Amino acid sequence: MTMIGVFGGTFNPIHHGHLRIAQEIAETLRLSQIKFIPSANPPHKTTPQVSASQRAAMVQLAIQDNPLFSLDTRELARTGPSYTIDTLKSLRDENSEATFCVIIGSDAFANFDQWHAWELILEYCHLILVPRPSGDTTLTLSPALNALMKTHGTQDSNQLTLQPFGCIISLPVTALDISSSQIRTLMQQHQNPIYLAPQNVIAYFTQHQLY
């Protein structure tokens, strides 16, 4: 069974924290690839001032030397909010035999029941939860999400290979304490964000004066 990681986000900009998480999950779950999918119109965040095409360009620069990683721009081609359920349906239509593993932060999962059509998402994928860099693994979940965890949660990664969708698993990863907002703040303060993101990404947003 082909297993494909789905890593969505604004990537404004992409940084080493994103890349390390993706690499470790790909190796742990033996994924055939991870698709980085920049969100054009994120429904749960303010739309970034940096254009979706520029954020996608930075993702491409960051991942270009890793054969496990690929850029997927399908959300840039759609109008309206970039809903995860629509992306998953599109991915399934293209490859009905693959198993898709959506990577999300544990803090984002705490609001999962506010996502568009959230009750349907696990019919198309597994959810891979990653901790925040703070190391705090305690989640305050709504009754609906607690019930979802009881029904779909697993601690056995092998379970993801036995069924094509429907599992939720938390994976320990090297959660580097880096954020996109930190990089943007450093740039606004005329400080050098070197070592927080790939140098070619830093060169791109510096050249284009994005932050």
CATH number at residue 60: 3.40.50.620
Q: Report how far residue 56's alpha carbon sits from residue 40's, in angstroms, rounded to the nearest whole number.
A: 9
121: containing domain: 3-177
Q: Give the pair of three-digit tokens for residue 121.
A: 């998402």
Selection from 20, 48, 15 nearest residue 201 by Cα: 15
165/157 Cα distance (integer angstroms): 13
**What is the pTM for the complete model shown?**
0.95
Domain contains 210: no
- Report the chain's terminal Cα–Cα distance, integer Å: 42
Strand arrangement of the beta sheet that strand 99-105 belongs to: 69-71, 33-38, 3-9, 99-105, 126-130, 168-170
**142 located within any domain:** yes
- Cα separation, 150 vs 39, whole angstroms: 30
Count of the separate structural domains present in the chain: 1
Quick check: is 143 in a domain? yes
Could you list the pLDDT tens digit for every one of the 211 residues in the chain? 799 999 999 999 999 999 999 999 999 999 999 999 999 998 877 878 999 999 999 999 999 999 999 999 999 999 999 999 999 999 999 999 999 999 999 999 999 999 999 999 999 999 999 987 765 556 789 999 999 999 999 999 999 999 999 999 999 999 899 999 999 999 999 999 999 999 999 999 999 999 9
Residue 164 within any structural domain of the chain: yes
Report yes or no on 38 lying in a domain.
yes
